[in-house]
Amino acid sequence: MAKKFYITTPIYYPSASPHLGHAYCSVMADILRRSKALLGYDTYFLTGLDEHGEKIEKNAEAKGITPQQFVDEIATKFLNLWKLLGISNDDFIRTTDKRHVDTIQKVFTRYLNNDDVYLSRYKGWYCVHEETFWTETQVGKEHLCPECGRSVEEKEEEAYFFSCQKYLPSLLKIFEENPSFVTPVGRKQEMINNFIKPGLNDLCVTRTTFSWGIPVKENKKHVVYVWLDALFNYITALGYLQEDDTKFQKYWMDEESEIVHLVGADITRFHTIYWPMFLEALGLRKPSRIFVHGLMMMKDGKMSKSKGNVIYAEPLVEHYGLDAVRYYLASEIIFGQDGQFTPELFIERLNADLANNLGNLLNRTVSMIGKYFDGMAPTHEKDFGEEDLAINQKIQETITEYEKDINSLKVTEAYHAVMELVSMGNKYIEQKAPWALAKDANKKDELASTMAHLVEVLHVSSVLLSPILLEKSAQIDEQLGIGEDYRNFSSLKKKLPSTLVHKGNPLFMRLENEKEVEWLKSLMAMPKEKAAA
Ligand code: MSP
């Protein structure tokens, strides 16, 4: 039976139009999902929206509509964007879904019955924007939110608390026994030093000062705190505590299923500290890994609507094509590290890797097979000299490294390895100089073998790049005349038949540097309403 892989993105706040930063996380989750599926895993991919909370209530009020109308409008924008970006999610959970609301209420009842939550009073400094209470020391003399820098309000209210102390030992045990539970590993130490060592307080898990949330059935003036509500999306979507929980049993409870939550660095604390405790209290298994990806930054810091330095995915996809944008996101920002969007690097990456490296290799190969073999690609019969042996070896190493890297979530590294193979293909052409071989009648076999090697390089690269290049990958094999039967991981080691190649359009157009950089800059300077339209 195929091994299982369950991947999630955070559920996004529907408080604004999604920008390239949100797109980054969903595209990376999608690439991982498709890469694991390519490796033969039985995969399931979830994304969705985090629709409750005071911020949404206030935003809706300002627009003169109900919170439900407000979130419905924005949900459509997210769904459209995911479609545009080729996001292959199996489900789209919204925390206003009845299935989610029902489960959260059942969970809260269980917590109450088990004394995991208790009623008390809360006094603290509250940031509406981050939906988070902070302590006196955290907000400092200026009373500013340590996360977003906005002013916080002092609030006191009756609230339910989740008893963290009870579950702290089990959390520490997970940290200890499973070194890759939080990846990159530095993030785990950060959590221990910043939040656990100073003493972990019980977590306030309800609110009484606004109403846009899931009501606590036993005490209706309380709504469930947005983070308790939100984190559970990962299992409510699978059917936890619902009539049909087949997916929950299959992708969550089965110890053989690998569960990966992809999260931005800003929400690591909730996923690595509270989420495992919430699960422990219900006797449920924990995710295999919380993978903390970096943020996409702009020159002046984090991309955010309030700073007005946002770039959106839509105009990029329209102008450069879906595959180019997906490729840029996966290759330019090392998965797990912060990255910076600059127009110069964007254009350079597309030109260097896609047009000059990959596109060129295909173009040269198909042209030469046309010229020297009337379009019939020769089969790989013999090797001639060390260049052939080296390229054979590189093909095998790339396949092995790709599998290893994807399985350890080193997405950028896996794809860099494939592009290295492509570069080697281009160098191989220079080394073998097919134009010289073609002039010597005795070198016909060597020329044929050279073409066969190039076809192999391109075919292997095309299949391995298929999780990123949703359109162009298949076009590579089409130009090479290679059929669907060969377009899977397990066929990569099979000998390719002789095929009829046909030259198509260039895969990627070479971009005019200055002109494109100017255009991107004008896009970044555009008022946000227009850019996001
Ligand atoms: N609703 C919470 C998450 C609850 S999950 C149980 C939330 N939402 S969010 O919309 O503010 O951010 C969600 C995620 O979007 C971040 O964790 C991150 O993965 C992604 N990003 C938002 N801005 C980003 C960048 N500038 N760069 C990269 N990713 C970014 O927090």
Reduce the secondary structure of 51-114 to three states and give it as a string. Answer: CCCHHHHHHHHHHCCCHHHHHHHHHHHHHHHHHHCCCCCCEEEECCCHHHHHHHHHHHHHHHHC
H or E segment at 30?
A: helix 20-38
Q: In the structure, which protein residues have their CB atom closer than 6 angstroms to any atom of ligand 1?
A: 10-13, 21-22, 24-25, 50, 230-231, 233, 263-264, 266-267, 295-296, 302-303
Q: Which of 266, 271, 309 to mutate to test the pocket of ligand 1 (most atoms within 8 A of CB)?
A: 266
Q: Which of 8, 20, 24 to mutate to test the pocket of ligand 1 (most atoms within 8 A of CB)?
A: 24
- pLDDT higher than threshold 60 for residue 528: no
User: Could you give the C-alpha distances from 427 to 36, 377, 384, 387, 454, in angstroms and in order?
Assistant: 30, 20, 16, 10, 11
Q: Between 303 and 14, whose confidence is greater?
A: 14
- pLDDT higher than threshold 80 for residue 62: yes
- pLDDT higher than threshold 70 for residue 362: yes
Token output for 259: 């569960």
Looking at residue 533, its pLDDT comes to 43
**Tens digits of per-residue pLDDT, 450-478?**
999 999 999 999 999 999 999 999 999 99
- CA 249, distance to chain mean position in Å, is 24
User: For 291-299, what is the mean pLDDT?
Assistant: 90
User: For 303-321, what is the mean pLDDT?
Assistant: 86
Q: Which of 87, 272, 295 to mutate to test the pocket of ligand 1 (most atoms within 8 A of CB)?
A: 295
From the CA of 265, give the closest atom in ligand 1.
17
- pLDDT higher than threshold 70 for residue 49: yes
**Tens digits of per-residue pLDDT, 171-227?**
999 999 999 999 988 888 888 888 888 888 899 999 998 999 999 999 999 999 989
User: For 358-373, what is the mean pLDDT?
Assistant: 98
Pairing assessment for the beta strands 258-264 and 223-224 based on DSSP bridges: unpaired
- pLDDT higher than threshold 90 for residue 298: no
Ligand 1 mean position to 352 CA, how many Å?
30
Ligand 1 mean position to 9 CA, how many Å?
9
- pLDDT higher than threshold 80 for residue 317: yes
Cα–Cα dist 436/447, whole Å? 9
Looking at residue 388, its pLDDT comes to 98
Q: Which residues contact 521 (CB under 8 A, 6 or more apart)?
A: 343
Cα–Cα dist 394/400, whole Å? 10
Looking at residue 532, its pLDDT comes to 47
Token output for 175: 């940290």
Going by CA atoms, what residue is nearest to atom 18 of ligand 1? 264
CB 467 within 8 A of CB 318: no
User: For 129-145, what is the mean pLDDT?
Assistant: 85
H or E segment at 117?
A: strand 117-127
State the pLDDT confidence band at 300, using cuts at 50, 70 and 90: confident
- pLDDT higher than threshold 80 for residue 529: no
Instruction: Say whether the peptide bond before residue 10 is cis (omega within 30 degrees of 0).
Output: no
